[in-house]
Amino acid sequence: MKLNKNHPLYQEDLQNILSLEGLNNIQGKTFLITGATGMIGVMLIDALMALGNVKVIAVGRNREKAKSRLGEYFENDNFEFLVQDVCLPFPNNLDVDFIIPAASNTHPLAYSKYPIETILINVKGAENALELASKCNATVVYTSTNEIYGNAIANEVFTEDYNGKLNLSNARSCYNESKRTAESLCQSYIVEKNVHVKIARLCRIFGPTMLESDSKASSQFIKKAINNEDIVLKSEGNQYFSYTYVADAVIGLLQVLLHGEIGVAYNVSSEKTNIHLKDFAQLCADYNHKKVIFDLPSAEERKGYSIAMKAILSNERIKGIGFKPMYSMQDAICRTCKILCNE
């Protein structure tokens, strides 16, 4: 499995991102992006570098991993890779215009094995990004998550003012609750230090920039599909979730950056890609004419799984600032598989 950035479909995704109205307003600006080698980070950086006349400071802990994901930019004057633990303060000499803190553990095995690290990356990572923003008068677009809503109490669609239930007696809440805390920290920096912060609540993201180590169900399905294997579903698959193709997610993130209001949260989701988990699995199986097999997860895996059965996000607010999701679920899955298979 290897991301081919020269694939015509990947290049088309980048052009779709670059068709966003208002991108000329960020030319000549400097971005600092944490989580640079992650699913969102890679496609966002590829789009910004393709735009041109934008400086990108990509932040990560491992230079070799960064070279494997973003190596084509290491000799580019508009790109800099900063080896940095986001739990530590940033160097004082940084001067940036936009900060996008996208570093986080974002898959179930990480939640179950490293709950303390998960909390610290989210909370300390947000604090250090906000501190840097306060020093250099930068705008922060905080990447939050649908998981801050907890579990639906009834059959609700999650609007941005919804508050669901979280089980704080379970270490799995390390991700949800630390993202809630980080959002509260964002609002506090707005009030106390006049930092400009906008919040993008991303839902379940999938696409060709996924990491091989990603243990999310959607990523497992896609890996099976491109390896020409049957899809293994570790539940009955009745969960009904909002998913977003990574290019739509990057478009939404930039839409919030360009047109969102300070202190306001926006759900980044698409009604075109709301789907039951078993149907997601079936679409992946159909790609290579394989079957869906139901199998129970291991005890270690189960610890990291969300117990939510429904998480559908309203996108009315972000549509109000011009967001128009582009991809259907079938198209997005096919694009992902073709890019990773180099077909």
Strand 240-245 and strand 274-276: pairing?
antiparallel
**DSSP assignment, residue 90?**
P
Q: Which residue has the tokens 């950086």?
A: 45
Cα separations in angstroms, 42 against 36, 46, 203, 276: 6, 6, 17, 27
> Please, is 215 exposed, middle or buried when counting C-beta atoms within 10 Å of its C-beta (0-12, 13-18, 19+)?
middle
List CB contacts of 118: < 8 A, sequence separation 6 or more. 104, 105, 110, 111, 174, 175, 178
Return the axis-axis angle of helices 39-51 and 63-70, rounded to nearest 10°. 60
Taking the C-alpha atoms of residue 62 and residue 68, their distance in angstroms, rounded to an integer, is 10
Give the tokens for residue 333.
Answer: 């899955």
Is 175 a catalytic site residue? yes
Could you tell me the CA-to-CA distances from 79 to 5, 33, 143, 331 in Å, in that order? 17, 11, 22, 32
Give the residue ranges of DSSP H helices in the chain: 8-18, 39-51, 63-70, 108-113, 115-136, 173-193, 217-226, 246-259, 277-287, 299-304, 316-319, 329-341
Annotated catalytic residue within 111, 149, 175, 327: 175
**Residue 341: how many other CB atoms lie within 10 Å:** 18
Report d(CA 275, CA 240) in Å as an integer. 6
312 vs 83, 257, 276, 308, CA distance in Å?
36, 23, 11, 11
Give the distance from CA 255 to its chain's centroid: 14
Q: How many CA atoms lie within 13 A of 253 on its CB side?
A: 31
So which residues are the catalytic ones? 175
